Structure 1
Amino acid sequence: MSQQSLSDQTREALEAFVANLPAAQQETVGKAFESLMASDTADNAVNVGGKAPDFTLPSVTNEDLTLSDALSDGPVVLSFYRGSWCPFCNLELNALQRRVEDIKACGARLIAVSPEKPDSSLTHAQKLDLTFDVLSDMHNRIAAEYGLIMDVHETLRPLYLEWGLDLPAANLDESWQLPVPATYVIDRDRTVRAAHIDKNYTSRMEPDEIIKALRSL
């Protein structure tokens, strides 16, 4: 049986999540989402044809990884995700893990970045058996350089805490800011050849599209 698409998986996860919320929480989530979609969030994000800002970030094993160093060996697939608490991110990371060998076969390296502190990222990587690089972007410094910052709506913050999602504790940051989920296929000269950037945080780039972009380089 063929593997269900990532978009189908995230849609089903969203429907199940919303269906289990009390009516008042459904309304709060819906209004916050409408506000996000009406905002200019990520309108000026780095996109196709632009240059990917270079960076150095710590990995879950506390070893620094520099983008330009990784690109010296071949293209890079760079994925910004919100955190280990995000079910849509976990679906994406699992989907990427299933295709990591195909990505490597294209001569590329897969790098995932979240604002979570390194020890949380390590636990997450181990839990999901991730074999690619997982980096910690504390305070969303690099996400900001890519133009990917979004604010968790004030009305959602108490709900997050009620749901056990303490972002300030997970990220060691009181800002309640997250990266807009984004995936970049970056050529060796740091040119972005393909990108998926969507403030609808349930929308992710299909692994098949990543592979297609890599094969076109």
Structure 2
Amino acid sequence: MRLQDKLDALREAFENGRFPLVPTRDQLDTMQRATQALIDGRQADQALKAGDTAPAFTLKDADGNSVSSQALLQRGPLVATFYRGVWCPYCNYDLQALERVRPEIEARGAALVAVSPQTPANSRKSQRDNKLGFPILSDPGTTVAARFGLRFALPDDLIEVYRQFGNDLARINDDPAWVLPMPARYVIGSDGVIAYAEVNPDYTRRPDPAELLPVLDRLRAGVPA
């Protein structure tokens, strides 16, 4: 099953009360209104795109080790996915789908990392629960996400809904600001230039990881993506 088919099924189950957490109509309306406002605000248009130079970054992995994008790019292309957090089931499905294609990504000489504002302890839980063989890097305050043009602040009514769900992002991220990255996926060439970019303010919509493979093939062949 394609990733988007799984996400569509998850959304349908959530919105129709066939999920462990059953939202009220008001809660659903608040969530949908916030997503639509992010879409209408066209913030995704301001995010970095293919052809832009990706900012270099160094972040800590779940074990506290520093991971440098420049060091990874010295070995080959970098696939970076921006991830909301362990609390987001859509994001976890996305990570699982990336894990399934990770061997094919690595066979093409590329590295794969996820970037999330959550604490290292929550990243360890994400890696364990989703059985990941690639690192989740902690991005405190979504500083790196902001440099990619992905950071946004949650509206007050959505913050209240998340609290009602038990998703206290101030605690999960160790940050009182209640900011998140828009879900995004990038392929960065060894020269630091972005070869592929997919940013979607609707967190229920994700590109299939198989789309990454032809991009990596073109990079390996020296053909502009």
Which bin holds the TM-score, normalised by the shorter protein? over 0.9
Residues 42 and 149 in structure 1, CA contact (< 8 A), matched pair in contact too: no
- Specify which of 140, 143, 154 is matched with residue 141 of structure 1: 143
The residue type equivalent to 1:14 in the other structure is R
1:109 alignment counterpart: 111
- Could you list the per-position Cα deviations for residues 164-196 of structure 1 after superposition, in whole angstroms to 9, with x for gaps in the alignment? 101000001111110011000110011101111
Instruction: State the superposition RMSD in angstroms.
Output: 1.1
Question: Normalising by the residue count of structure 1, what TM-score does the alignment of the two structures yield?
Answer: 0.95
Aligned pairs for 1:198-213 (under 5 A) are 198-213=200-215
Confirm or deny that 1:13 pairs with 2:10: yes
Question: Normalising by the residue count of structure 2, what TM-score does the alignment of the two structures yield?
Answer: 0.92
Deviation at 1:28, TM superposition (A): 2.0
Residues 111 and 135 in structure 1, CA contact (< 8 A), matched pair in contact too: yes
The residue type equivalent to 1:195 in the other structure is A
Q: Give distance in 2, aligned partners of 1:37 and 1:13.
A: 21
Q: Give distance in 1, aligned partners of 2:35 and 2:69.
A: 32
Residues 35 and 201 in structure 2, CA contact (< 8 A), matched pair in contact too: no
Confirm or deny that 1:41 pairs with 2:43: yes
Residues 34 and 155 in structure 2, CA contact (< 8 A), matched pair in contact too: yes
Structure 1's consecutive aligned runs of 4 or more residues displaced over 4 angstroms after TM superposition are: none
Q: Which runs of 5+ in 1 are unaligned?
A: none
Residues 45 and 147 in structure 1, CA contact (< 8 A), matched pair in contact too: yes
Aligned pairs for 1:65-104 (under 5 A) are 65-104=67-106
Confirm or deny that 1:125 pairs with 2:121: no
> Secondary structure at 1:135's aligned position in 2?
strand
Q: Give distance in 2, aligned partners of 1:137 and 1:24.
A: 32
1:186 alignment counterpart: 188
The residue type equivalent to 2:2 in the other structure is S
> Secondary structure at 2:195's aligned position in 1?
strand
1:51 alignment counterpart: 53
Deviation at 1:27, TM superposition (A): 2.1
1:216 alignment counterpart: 218
Count of residue correspondences: 214
- Could you list the per-position Cα deviations for residues 131-156 of structure 1 after superposition, in whole angstroms to 9, with x for gaps in the alignment? 11210001101001111012222111
- Could you list the per-position Cα deviations for residues 82-136 of structure 1 after superposition, in whole angstroms to 9, with x for gaps in the alignment? 0010111000000011111010111100011100011111122122111112100
Deviation at 1:15, TM superposition (A): 1.7
Q: Give distance in 2, aligned partners of 1:196 and 1:208.
A: 13
> Secondary structure at 1:216's aligned position in 2?
helix
Residues 152 and 177 in structure 1, CA contact (< 8 A), matched pair in contact too: yes
The residue type equivalent to 2:139 in the other structure is D
Residues 153 and 180 in structure 2, CA contact (< 8 A), matched pair in contact too: yes
Return 148-157 or 63-72, whichever deviates more: 148-157
Q: Give distance in 1, aligned partners of 2:44 and 2:209.
A: 22
